[in-house]
Amino acid sequence: MKDLKNKVAYITGGTKGIGFAVAQTLLDQGMKVAVSGRSQESVEKALKDFDNDAVLGVVSNVAKIADEKDAVAKIIDKWGQLDVVLANAGVGNFAPVDEMTDEQWHQMIDTNLSGAFHSLKASVEALKKSKGYYITLASLAGTNFFAKGAGYNASKFGVVGFTQAAMLDLRQYDIKVSTIMPGSVSTQFNNNEPGDKDAWKIQPEDIGELVLDLLKMNERTLPSKIEVRPTRPDKK
Active site residues: 152
Q: Is 75 exposed, middle or buried (0-12, 13-18, 19+ CB in 10 A)?
A: buried
**DSSP letter string over 113-160?**
IHHHHHHHHHHHHHHHHHT-EEEEE--GGGT---TT-HHHHHHHHHHH
- Smallest Cα–Cα separation from 85: which of 6, 11, 18? 11
**DSSP letter string over 147-188?**
TT-HHHHHHHHHHHHHHHHHHHHHGGGT-EEEEEEESSB-SS
> How many CB atoms sit inside 10 A of residue 24's CB?
18
- Three-state SS at 3: coil
- Check residue 190 and report its DSSP letter: G
The b-or-e profile of 114-153 (16+ CB within 10 A means b, else e) is bbbbbbbebbbebbeebebbbbbbbbbbbeeeeeebbbbb
Distance separating alpha carbons of residues 153 and 145, to the nearest angstrom? 6
